[in-house]
Amino acid sequence: MAKISVINDPEGWLTDPNKKWTMHFEKSLSPNSKESSEITLDMWRLMPNRAPSQFKSRRKLPFQEASKIWNELISLGWKKTKNRCLNIA
């Protein structure tokens, strides 16, 4: 079985293997700290031109929970993209 690398700093775009959904992870700085305590997670439906044009949901998650979701998605075949339009990194 292939080794899956664990990411401890979830930030950026992930796209599902079927190229139907994309998720954006963005750090939210807390007012009293220089470090991120939360991650905003947005889910988008991808359109045929591979642009995320249908917003699905937004959640604010603790950093550790977002990291767990990121790593879970990677293990399920989601790929990191350079931007929201499916340029696979």
CB 41 within 8 A of CB 61: yes
Write the DSSP string, 21-50: EEEEEEEEE-TT-SSEEEEEEEEEEEPTTS
Q: What pLDDT was estimated at residue 55?
A: 84
How much is the pLDDT for 89?
44
pLDDT tens track for 14-57: 999 998 899 999 988 766 655 667 999 999 988 877 665 788 89
Tell me, what amino acid is at 58? R
Say what percent of the chain tops pLDDT 70.
70
Question: What is the structure's pLDDT at 43?
Answer: 94
Q: Is the pLDDT of residue 88 over 80?
A: no
